[in-house]
Structure 1
């Protein structure tokens, strides 16, 4: 099934997918006309770069979609090693050999898969146990809550990306 612009999906699912698509668009739009080098530049005091932000959002969306299918895939954050944390930190930067086109293609594939998952989910109310993590104060989330979290993460990072892009060359996503 190929979901495009919410076709074939109605009601709440269509609303969730439309909101996610809107924020994905703004995040991707921040990288328009950039070179690979520019996508990897840090333009603020932050460690973040545009390519790294898209890599991070891709990983977040992929991990939460995997979690909906099988909660055990998320693992236990309280048992992560320094090597695990270093690998996670690499999500936030462009590594040698990575290209903006490749990062965007990966993001598109993850988005397609998530959209198909949302369309096919039997129940948005189904509850999943959250992984152990120092920041988790709750123990379970519904599929709906997971999707709302992905939308929130995407929107928040699209805002970060807009600041980074404006600092890079003055280009803005809106305005």
Structure 2
């Protein structure tokens, strides 16, 4: 798997489509933007932490893959973690996924993001509607699939701002 990604190859959100397709398209665009921000970097560069934060691009790749699988597979569909990172999970330790990327190769980090995307697309595709309710109750009550997808778009969007700043600090690369 290559870790080089051209921003011109980012998924485009359809301008006219049903809501599922639009939400999945928006999420795909966000993921591809993250891929681009992390594109072509070494493991050491992906581990670079922009002071005073402990955030790194590798941490963002892992965190967003973990968050996506956690919301879609675990909370919505009621399944277990993907085995690829399950042994690293730290219950009760907020932000563990952001700080446990030491030693992970770019290929592994990108693969986890791709696995999360494929899982999301399969589960959303099989769901009867966006009104379908989660199996788990994250806030004491179930949430809809629509809420989960909107939450993921928000989560990616928030962290893409971090990714912009970290990438620029690494090698001066900027762009939207």
Q: TM-score, normalised by structure 1?
A: 0.78
Q: 1:41-91 CA deviation, whole Å, 9 max, x = no partner?
A: 1023111000001100000000011111128x69xxxxxxxx6234x5331
| Count of residue correspondences | 154
Superposition RMSD in Å: 2.4
Gaps of 5+ in 1: 75-82
118, 124, 130: which is aligned to 1:124? 130
Name the residue aligned to 2:84: none
Name the residue aligned to 1:167: 169
Listed as ranges, the matches of 1:19-98 within 5 Å are 19-66=26-73, 67-70=75-78, 84-86=91-93, 88-98=94-104
Cα deviation for residue 94 of structure 1 reads 4.9
The answer to which structure, 1 or 2, has the higher relative contact order (CA under 8 A, 6+ apart) is 1
TM superposition outliers: structure 1 runs of 4+ over 6 Å: 4-7
Structure-2 separation of matches of 1:62 and 1:117: 10
Gaps of 5+ in 2: 1-10, 82-89
Structure-2 separation of matches of 1:24 and 1:115: 13
Q: 3-state SS of the aligned residue for 1:157?
A: helix
Name the residue aligned to 1:154: 156
Q: TM-score, normalised by structure 2?
A: 0.77
